[in-house]
Amino acid sequence: MRSDQSIQQASKLSFPQVALRFLLDYPLGAKLRQHVEFYVTQLEYEYETGREAALDMLCAVFNSFPQVSAASGAHARACGLSFVSC
């Protein structure tokens, strides 16, 4: 493997971790929804690898956030954000 390919591969592996830390640690407030919606729209990306990356990111986000209460879960389902465990 060429060195530029290994750097590219390493960046593919580290970016989701950095993005997840940002979503978890930075106080986004209402903007969190916009970030999650971005990854949801990427599920329609032209290339399968991009769709898989978006799905992996969404799984990481939903598995990393605290469990939602029943009332919040009902709100999420009403918004079409009902997910099973990844």
Domain assignment present for 49: yes
Least confident of 5-14, 22-31, 55-64: 5-14
Domain assignment present for 84: no
Amino acid at position 70, single letter: A
pTM over 0.75: no
Helix 31-41 vs helix 48-64: angle between axes, to the nearest 10 degrees? 150
The total number of residues shown for the chain amounts to 86
Domain that holds residue 10: 3-78
- Helix, strand, or coil here: 53? helix
The confidence score (pLDDT) of residue 37 equals 92
Domain assignment present for 32: yes
Domain assignment present for 17: yes
Q: Which of 9, 11, 33, 12 is nearest to 23 (CA)?
A: 33
pLDDT tens track for 50-69: 899 899 899 888 888 776 54
The confidence score (pLDDT) of residue 26 equals 85
**Count of domains forming the chain:** 1
Looking at residues 23-47, what average pLDDT do you find?
Answer: 89
- The pLDDT of residue 46 is above 90: yes
